[in-house]
Structure 1
Amino acid sequence: MSITTPEHDERIAKMTFASVYPHYVTKVEKKNRTKAELHQVIEWLTGFDDNKLQQLIDDKVTFKTFFEQATIHPNAHLIKGVICGYRIEDITTTLTQQTRYLDKLVDELAKGRKMEKILREG
């Protein structure tokens, strides 16, 4: 059973990564984490290095395009918990789930979690 509505999924698909990225930066920097750490987390999840990330921001790609171009880390399924009121492991729409993975990683970074825990290294 899907816990997100088609409207919710569509809204996420159409949002641009560039519109959300500054909020990620603000969120982690407010908690004394760095943009470099944020990029490390994003690269772990998506495979995007700094140059590719900047290109995607400049191109104002949607989350749909962003995740279509990503190589999702094989341990991403280990990202569990509740984000924005949704239990990540129960989300059935792949794109919405991947977007929530990213939200959860940013959250953990902002909350001061150790990098090896965030990057699911065991």
Structure 2
Amino acid sequence: MTPRDISKLLFTTVYPLYVQKAERKGRTREEVDAVICWLTGYDREQLAHHARVAIDFQAFFDQAPRIHPNSAQVKGTVCGVRVEDISDPLTQKVRVLDKLIDELAKGKAMDKILRR
């Protein structure tokens, strides 16, 4: 997916897929929310709002209060591409979020996912 395609992708559409993926693996919506809030700096109320309204990834990340500084520690591959090698900032943020959700679904401990 090109950076332009990712920027137009609706967070509102992808969020339920993140939750479904986690729940299929025995994790919870609350854990998905905790991961997203950790990455973006949104509180739970702000995240719930963004999950209800039509907002694309560009706006979702542009409006984020702060991207967690430890998100730079997220490494590995998503869709065959190394997260740390992605040059487009928005695409990298989206793929970091994808990687965090993958780690959650694979049963990794929250402390490790949140890079504590």
Normalised TM-score (structure 1): 0.91
Amino acid across the alignment from 1:52: Q
Residue 34 (structure 1) shift: 0.5
Q: Which residue of 1 aligns with 2:56?
A: 62
Q: Does 2:12 align with 1:18? A: yes
Q: Does 2:2 align with 1:8? A: yes
Task: Tell me, in whole angstroms, the C-alpha distance in 1 between the residues paired with 2:52 and 2:59.
Answer: 13
Task: Tell me, in whole angstroms, the C-alpha distance in 1 between the residues paired with 2:92 and 2:81.
Answer: 10
Q: Which residue of 2 aligns with 1:37?
A: 31
Larger radius of gyration: 1
Task: Tell me, in whole angstroms, the C-alpha distance in 1 between the residues paired with 2:55 and 2:12.
Answer: 7
List structure 1 segments (4+ residues) > 2 angstroms apart after TM superposition: none
Q: Which residue of 1 aligns with 2:101?
A: 106
Unaligned runs of 5+ in 2: none
SS of alignment partner, residue 69 of structure 2: coil
SS of alignment partner, residue 108 of structure 2: coil
Give the share of equivalent positions with the same residue, in percent: 50
Q: Which residue of 2 aligns with 1:4?
A: none
Q: Which residue of 2 aligns with 1:46?
A: 40
Q: Does 2:115 align with 1:120? A: yes
Normalised TM-score (structure 2): 0.96
Q: Which residue of 1 aligns with 2:81?
A: 86
Q: Which moved more, 1:34-43 or 1:56-65?
A: 56-65
Output one character per residue of 1:45-75: Cα deviation in whole Å (capped at 9) or x when no partner: 0011221012112221100000001110010
Amino acid across the alignment from 1:12: I
Amino acid across the alignment from 1:118: I
Aligned length: 115
